[in-house]
Amino acid sequence: DAKTTQPNSMESNEEEPVHLPCNHSTISGTDYIHWYRQLPSQGPEYVIHGLTSNVNNRMASLAIAEDRKSSTLILHRATLRDAAVYYCILSGSAGGTSYGKLTFGQGTILTVHP
């Protein structure tokens, strides 16, 4: 499986934008870039995903580099409820495996200060 690299931790102030980076230099052409987050004592929660183009949804934006070797999750205005571990994950169907078979790393712990 292609690997991702994320900072161990990041901090932000409430109501400020947050840019969470992810490097994935060995990404293959069919790999989707997923972001999930995990709040304390809960299971992971889907945030956003993309393939080549930038994506927006009600939770966040995903900016994908032109060469696809890196991406950035953007939270436009952080709230205290956004404090979580954020996982950047690649998934593809190479070899017939499921897109839902995700390889989680350790993620980025986001702390949001009031």
Other Cβ atoms less than 10 A from the Cβ of 70: the count is 19
> Does 53 contact other proteins by CB under 8 A?
no
Please state, in angstroms and rounded to a whole number, the distance separating the CA atoms of residues 90 and 114.
Answer: 32
Q: Which amino acid is at 12?
A: S
Cβ atoms 82, 75 nearer than 8 A: yes
Interface with other proteins includes 24 (CB under 8 A)?
Answer: no
Q: For residue 7, give Cα distances in angstroms to 4, 41, 95, 100.
A: 10, 22, 30, 24
Tokens of 71: 């991406």
Total number of residues that touch other proteins (CB under 8 A) = 26
Which CB sits closer to other proteins, 2 or 49? 49
Chain positions 55 to 84 lying near other proteins, rule: CB under 8 A, are none
Nearer to other proteins, 36 or 70 (CB): 36
Determine which residue in the list 73, 83, 107, 112 makes contact with other proteins, applying CB under 8 A: 107
Task: List the one residue from 7, 10, 21, 32 that touches other proteins (CB under 8 A).
Answer: 32
What are the residues binding other proteins (CB under 8 A)? 32, 34, 36, 41-46, 49, 51, 85, 87, 91, 93, 97-107
